A and B are shown apart, each in its own frame.
Chain A
């Protein structure tokens, strides 16, 4: 009962903030509204007894991605005025794309046989995650870190090139 109330409150926070992000006319407000969406997801992870994932979500998304996004938005010129950035795509193609997208997603959501289990009791998950990463899933883990390394080197190359000019 209490868990359901908390779940719906968190879901409302997440969806409400995400909607605000999508519909706000002020892009800075949109960016700050992402905080609510990320925090709502953290809460849902906690409710699902995924303590480690929740904390990493908080550390990476709120502490890293959100801050970098805010930085990018703040340092962009002319963020206050609303202008259509891409005039090639009009209202009608956009509407058609979104209707098709929503239809496909709804179809998938309705047709998927959802695997329902009772809420697990809060138990330490860190140990199991660590073992999985360095055991069965060591190859995907290393491949993912290779992608991140490539991104890091790419960022350094791009910023150095700009510095020379």
Chain B
């Protein structure tokens, strides 16, 4: 980042402008490219992928009319929502009603500043990167509560309060599950955490010791709960609350909430990938920096998109939990287990400050065994269900 700015200043593209101003312009342009070119299209495309994936899980076809295999469905939806009337209820609190979607989108856009796409593709490698990522997403709560209250409608208010209660509760296990990794690396920087891991699975923090393995799973489930994803989508439970905090919204403002929700899937995946799955780490196959960066970019995105797919899979498979189950899962199980993880990792680091490579191999082997058992169970149920299986991704 700093090198790029120095190069631009040295090249004299901007003449005699002060260096800070050039830096500001470069940062603003790059941020705009990342947000408009990656974040928003990603949110749109994920909405299409998600609808196709659910459709397959539920033995349907899904949207397949606009473009090849319905790929352009998200653009059509966007155009439709822009053209719709922006209805603002008479009895609502007009100013807060209008501001709320922007706050939610703000909370979705800010984490992309520290998204480590590859060893050099990162907007700002802050010293407090991971802390920044978890704390800026907290602004979502304020937007959701604002939307719920300003709509002046009981469904919206209940949805908003449920969402806030859920996010505030699950922030605690999520935050505590980040600590084991921070304890092991001694840094909060996204790139620092990724550099402390290796490209091979046994060098990932997921398999570093039993505590980090549990922490990774808790973090993923908590992140799904914070992102209002099924099985934790109580705030917008269609069968109970119409559309929760978004009930009174229409047009683009309504779409903003859901764009943030879909885009947050990438952020959830990126946090897990960075902390536990080795981030962009790829074996050094070439000395060319550009080639390496492209390979790292692909590695990072494959890992993140796999986690995004898993969350769609969960959404298609699991029923919604009740509010008391949600709260007891968080406070009675996740919070105590997270504390055990933290203390366990601290003891582990005290015994083996450099990490234990044997433990990495054993944990990786156990991970493979778990995966094999899982696939066997799935195959067993597939055979028992006697349904006609065929694989045709394009209909």
Contact = CB atoms under 8 A, between A and B. Distances in A.
A74 B131 contact: no
A62 B127 contact: no
Range of interface residues on chain A? Answer: 20 to 34
Nearest to A60: B135
Given A63-B171, A70-B142, A2 B20 contact: yes
Interface string A1-29: 11100000000000000000000000011
A63 B20 contact: no
Given A55-B131, A74-B145, A62 B188 contact: no
B142 A67 contact: yes
Contacts of A126: 127-128, 188
Contact of A62 (B18, B142, B186): B142
B161 interface: yes
Contacts of B171: 63
Given A2-B24, A59-B134, A71-B161, A51 B142 contact: no
Interface string B127-147: 110011011101101100110
A63 B128 contact: no
Contacts of A154: none
A8 B103 CA distance: 23
B142 A66 contact: yes
B24 A55 contact: no
Contact of A67 (B20, B132, B168): B168
B161 A63 contact: no
B93 interface: yes
B128 A58 contact: no
A124 B146 CA distance: 35
A64 B93 CA distance: 24
Given A52-B128, A74-B145, A126-B128, A62 B139 contact: yes
B142 A28 contact: no
Nearest to B157: A74
Interface string A69-93: 0110010000000000000000000
A35 B142 contact: yes
Interface of B: 18, 20-21, 24, 93, 95-96, 103, 126-128, 131-132, 134-136, 138-139, 141-142, 145-146, 149, 157, 161, 164, 168, 171, 175, 186, 188
18 contacts: A1-B18, A2-B20, A2-B24, A3-B20, A32-B142, A51-B126, A51-B127, A52-B128, A52-B131, A54-B128, A55-B128, A62-B142, A63-B168, A67-B141, A67-B164, A71-B164, A74-B149, A126-B127
- The 5 lowest CB-CB distance pairs between A and B, nearest first, are A63-B138, A59-B135, A58-B135, A124-B127, A55-B131
